[in-house]
């Protein structure tokens, strides 16, 4: 599962960051992907690819696909600090900043194998990128994170007004 996750992130042009339990944190850098639109599109592409890859992982592992249900939180951050942390026997890419914590709150609310994306991320998509992802951005309905029925206590406390949509 971890190999499949890393592959989907890297194939979409991202950087695989921390692995926490069965989760992964990934970063899509605008400068590496030619634009903010490219970075936003890459994040969506990686999430979709990983959802598809889990069906194959489940099959190879003799599991039902619903046993590997993934949830995704996608968010945009322009003021985070990305870096490499190294210690004896361990190296990881991580980031610090409000947007990282906000993304964690979004992901925690994406129960039921959903993908939640912030309005800030969706607004970065160019019309061509949105079309290539089959997203009609002018028809997307957003809801404040704190108003989701699946909103966690931390989401209601830390990021209730972040507008999100389900992809």
Question: In angstroms, rounded to a whole number, what is the distance separating the alpha carbons of residues 89 and 111?
Answer: 34
- 2-11 confidence digits (pLDDT tens): 899 999 999 9
Query: What's the confidence (pLDDT) of residue 160?
Result: 97
Question: In angstroms, rounded to a whole number, what is the distance separating the alpha carbons of residues 46 and 7?
Answer: 9
Mean pLDDT of 33-60: 94
Q: Which residue has the higher pLDDT, 90 or 61?
A: 61
126 closest CA partner among 15, 44, 13, 16: 44
Q: Which residue has the higher pLDDT, 144 or 65?
A: 144
The total of other beta-carbon atoms located within 10 Å of residue 33's CB is 18
**Quick one: pLDDT band at residue 69, thresholds 50, 70, 90?**
confident
Kind and range of the H or E run holding 94: strand 90-96
**Contact status, residue 124 vs residue 56, Cβ threshold 8 Å:** no
Q: Which residue has the higher pLDDT, 52 or 164?
A: 164
Mean per-residue pLDDT over the chain, rounded = 92
Q: What is the DSSP string of 97-144?
A: SHHHHHHHHHHHT-TTT-EEEEHHHHTT--HHHHHHTT--GGG---EE
Provide the number of structural domains found in the chain. 1
Question: In angstroms, rounded to a whole number, what is the distance separating the alpha carbons of residues 53 and 5?
Answer: 8
- 6-27 confidence digits (pLDDT tens): 999 999 999 998 887 778 899 9
The total of other beta-carbon atoms located within 10 Å of residue 23's CB is 14
CATH code, domain with 27: 3.30.70.1230
Q: Which domain holds residue 18?
A: 2-166
**Quick one: pLDDT band at residue 120, thresholds 50, 70, 90?**
very high
**Contact status, residue 74 vs residue 102, Cβ threshold 8 Å:** no
Mean pLDDT of 143-165: 97
pLDDT at 68 over 90: no
Query: What's the confidence (pLDDT) of residue 108?
Result: 96
Question: In angstroms, rounded to a whole number, what is the distance separating the alpha carbons of residues 42 and 29?
Answer: 9
The total of other beta-carbon atoms located within 10 Å of residue 90's CB is 7
Query: What's the confidence (pLDDT) of residue 149?
Result: 96
């Amino acid at each position: 599962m971890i190999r499949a996750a890393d592959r989907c992130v890297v194939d979409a042009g991202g950087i695989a960051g921390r692995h926490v339990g069965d989760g992964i944190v990934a970063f899509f850098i605008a400068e590496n992907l030619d634009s903010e639109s490219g970075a936003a599109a890459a994040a969506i592409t990686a999430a979709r690819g990983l959802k598809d890859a889990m069906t194959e992982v489940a099959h190879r592992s003799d599991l039902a696909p619903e046993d590997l249900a993934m949830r995704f939180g996608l968010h945009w951050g322009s003021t985070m600090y990305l870096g490499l942390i190294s210690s004896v026997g361990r190296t990881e890419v991580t980031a610090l900043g409000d947007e990282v914590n906000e993304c964690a709150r979004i992901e925690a609310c994406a129960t039921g194998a959903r993908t939640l994306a912030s309005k800030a991320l969706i607004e970065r998509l160019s019309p061509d990128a949105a079309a290539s992802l089959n997203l009609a951005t002018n028809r997307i309905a957003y809801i404040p994170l704190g108003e989701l029925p699946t909103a966690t206590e931390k989401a209601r406390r830390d990021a209730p007004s972040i507008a999100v949509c389900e992809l």
